[in-house]
Structure 1
Amino acid sequence: MMRTAFLAATAAAALGGAAFAQDTPVDLRFGVWVGATHPLMEGTAEWIDSIHEASGGSISITVYPSQQLGSAADHYDLARDGIADITLVNPGYNAGRFPVISYGELPFRFNAAPAGSRALDQWYRDYAAEEMSDVHFCMAFMHSPGTIHTTRPVTAPADLSGLSVRPANGTLGQYLSSQGATTIQATAAEMRDLLSRGTADGTASPYSSLATWGIADVATHHLDMPMYTANFVYVISPVTWARLSEAQQAVMNEHCSTEWAGRIVEVWAEEDTVERAALEEDGAHVFATPDDSQRAEWLAATDPMIARWRDMVTAAGVDAGAAEAGIQAAIAEHDAGL
C-alpha cells in the first residue's frame, strides 16, 4: 500500500511538472510605488521566488519600483486597465473609493503588522470580490502600527491643538483634525524639509519610515501609543489572470493567501522594532506615554470615526454590523488587537 501511494504521488508530481512544462511562460510586470530598497520589498522578493519555484519556472515577476509605471494613487487603475499585471495599492490614496477595507485605517485597532495583516486579509476576502471587482484580489496587509512624531511633546489629545501634522491617510487626517490639529497634505519624502523649516510640526508614520525618509533627526518627540495602520493590497489585472493557465492560477492562489499576508510584512515589522530601539537609545529622542486618563481620551475620540465608517459601509450596500463583527472576530482569532 505504501509503495502504491508513493508511485501515485510520483505520477501526480510528474503530471504536474508536465503541466507546467506545457504552460506558456509569463513575465508579469509588478508595479509598486515604494523604492526597491523598501523593507516591504524583501518579503515580496521571497514571495516572488516562491511563485517562480512553485510554477516550475513558468511564472516570472519583474518589479517596477518607485512609480515607474504610474503615480502611487493610480496603481489600482494600472492593474484594472492592464498597464501592469500586479500592483501594490494603498486604498487610502483613493479616499472613499474602498469604504469597507478602510476599517483598517481606524485609529487604535491593531497591535502588530503580521497578526493584523492576517486578520485584515482573512476578513476582507468576504468583501474584496465586490469592493474591488475591477481586479483579481490577491491579498491585504498592513505596516506596523504607527504613531505621530513631532517637534514638540504630545501626550494628550489637547496637545494637538494648533499643531500642523501630516496624516498617513484621510481617516487619520479626520481624526487629528477633530482633536484640533491642522493637517498637511504632503508625501513622506517631503516631510523632512517641512519639519526642518518649521512649516510642519509633525508627521504620522511607523518608526521604520523615520529612517526611510530621513525624518528621525527633526521629529524627536514620539507619542508612545500605537495609533494607526495603513492598509495595502496586492491586486492582479483581470486580463493577466485570464491568460494564466489553470495550473498557474492555482500557484498564484496558493500565494495569495492569509498566511502570505502575514509573512510578507515580517521583515518590515522587524525593521520597525529595530528602528524604535535605536531611537530609544538616542538621548535626543523623547517618548511620551499617556497615563490611563489620557489614553481613555485618545480612544474615546475614535467614536465619531467608527460611526462614519459604519455610515460609509451602509451607503455602499454592506451590512455594517456584520462587517464590524467579522473584523472583530478575525482580530480576536489572530490576537491582533490592542
Structure 2
Amino acid sequence: MQMKKLLAKTMIAASIAGSALAVQAQEVTLKIHHFLSPTTFIQVGVFEPWCAKLGKESGNKIKCQIYPAMQLGGTPPQLFDQAKDGVADIVWTVPGYAAGRFPLSQVFELPFTMTNAEATSRAAWEFVQTYAKQEFKDVHLLAAHVHGPGYMFTTKKQMNTMADFKGMKFRAPTPLTNKMLAMLGATPVGMPVPAIPEALSKGVIEGAVIPYQVAPSLKVHELVKFATETDPKYPALYTTFFVVAMNKAKYDSLPADLKKVIDNNSGIEFSAMAGRVQEADDAPGRQKFKEAGVTINTIPAAELAKWKKATDSLDDDWMANATKLGHDGPKLYKAAQDLIKKHTK
C-alpha cells in the first residue's frame, strides 16, 4: 500500500512538473532589430506598445527584447536578410535599401504619390497582399507602411525653385528617390538614414530628404540652416516604404494560440498604426528646428507642379519595369493610386 501511494505521488509530481514545462515551453521571447536609436518613434511609439499588447493578449507568454541601432550587428540594408536567416526574429527595415530587390512595392516611393502616412500605409499593406506577396515570400510579413511627407534639409542654400537643386549633393534613401533628385537637377547620394549626420558635418552632402520625425535623433537641426517643406495640400514630394518582417521558422514554431495573438496584431491595422505614429512625430520634430533657429519655408503648389512634371517619367519607368518583370505595369500603378484614394479621408 505504501509503495502504491509513493508511486501515485511520484506520478502526480511528474505530471505537475511536465505541465509546468509545457507552459514554459510555450513562452517565447522575440528578438526585434532596427536601425534607429532607442528613443525614436519606431521603438517608443510602435514596438514598445505593440509588444505590451502582445504580452497582455498572450498572458505574458510573448515577450520582446528590442535591439536598436543595429546592436545585433550588420548594416541597415542587411536587416531583411537577418529576418530571413533568423539572426533576428523581427526586423523593421527599408526594402529599398536593397536596390532592385523589391521593385513592385516601391510604387509608393514614386514622387508626389503619398497623401498621408496612415492612408498610404493601409494602401501599401493591401497592395502587397494583392500584388507583391512574392517579394516577401522569404519572411512572415507583419506590416508595411510609409512615413509622413519627406522634406528638404540643407546646410548652405535655401530651396525655393527647381533651379536650386542644380549640382547640389543631396542624400536620398532609395533608388527611386535618387532618380527623382537627379531629375530635379541634384547630384544624388544614396545612404541609409544613420549615415546622414556624418555626411552633413563632413560636407559629403549639402542636403538631405527626410521626414521631420527622424531628424532630431540625428541632430540634423544642429547641422543645417534651412528646412524646406512642400504645400500640405499637394501630394508629398516623396515617402519611404518600410516593412516589419518576421522570421518564418520562428512564426511557424509558435503554438496556435500565440500565432493567433501575432495574427491579431499584424496586418493592415498594425501598418496603419505605424504610419500614423510616425507622421504624428513630425510636429515635435519640426519644433526642434524652430527652437534651433533653422529657417523654414514652404514650396507653393504652383512650383511643385513644375517639379512633378520634371519627374513624371519616373512613373512611366516604374510601369515599364514592372511590365518587363512579367506584370501589368499600368494596372499595378493604377491599383496603388486607387488604394491610396480609397483610404485617404
Q: Which bracket does the TM-score occupy, shorter chain normalised?
A: 0.7 to 0.9
Q: 5 Å matches for 1:230-249?
A: 230-249=240-259
Kindly state the Cα deviation for residue 271 of structure 1 after the two structures are TM-superposed. 1.9
**TM-score (normalizing by structure 1):** 0.86
Out of 34, 37, 50, the residue aligned to residue 36 of structure 2 is 34
Aligned position for 2:48? 45
How many residue pairs are counted as aligned between the two chains? Answer: 316
Out of 173, 177, 181, the residue aligned to residue 178 of structure 2 is 173
Post-superposition CA distance 1:31-87 (Å, at most 9, x none):
212221111112211111111211222222211211122321111111111222111
**Contact 2:221–2:288, Cα closer than 8 Å, also in 1:** no
Question: Which residue identity is paired with 2:108?
Answer: G
Distance 1:64 1:181, change over 3 A: same
Larger Rg: 2
Post-superposition CA distance 1:241-287 (Å, at most 9, x none):
22111222221111112112111343332221222245356654131
Give the match's secondary structure for 1:264.
Answer: helix
Kindly state the Cα deviation for residue 110 of structure 1 after the two structures are TM-superposed. 1.1
**Contact 2:35–2:194, Cα closer than 8 Å, also in 1:** no
Question: Structure 2: how far apart are the matches of 1:199 and 1:77?
Answer: 29
Q: 5 Å matches for 1:174-189?
A: 174-189=179-194
Q: Does 1:317 align with 2:317?
A: no
Out of 21, 24, 38, the residue aligned to residue 26 of structure 2 is 24
Q: Does 1:56 align with 2:65?
A: no
Kindly state the Cα deviation for residue 311 of structure 1 after the two structures are TM-superposed. 2.1
Kindly state the Cα deviation for residue 164 of structure 1 after the two structures are TM-superposed. 0.9
Q: 5 Å matches for 1:252-331?
A: 252-280=262-290, 283-290=293-300, 292=302, 294-331=303-340
Question: Structure 1: how far apart are the matches of 2:284 and 2:209?
Answer: 18
Aligned position for 2:9? none
Question: Structure 2: how far apart are the matches of 1:202 and 1:152?
Answer: 9
Kindly state the Cα deviation for residue 167 of structure 1 after the two structures are TM-superposed. 1.0
Give the match's secondary structure for 1:98.
Answer: coil
Deviates more, 1:326-335 or 1:312-321: 312-321
Kindly state the Cα deviation for residue 322 of structure 1 after the two structures are TM-superposed. 2.7
Distance 1:58 1:284, change over 3 A: closer
RMSD: 2.2
Question: Which residue identity is paired with 1:124?
Answer: V
Question: Which residue identity is paired with 2:36?
Answer: V
Structure 1 gap segments, 5+ residues each:
1-19
**TM-score (normalizing by structure 2):** 0.85
Q: 5 Å matches for 1:73-152?
A: 73-150=77-154, 151-152=156-157
Percent sequence identity is 28
Question: Structure 2: how far apart are the matches of 1:283 and 1:27?
Answer: 44
Question: Structure 1: how far apart are the matches of 2:71 and 2:325?
Answer: 33
**Contact 1:78–1:84, Cα closer than 8 Å, also in 2:** yes
Q: Does 1:220 align with 2:225?
A: yes
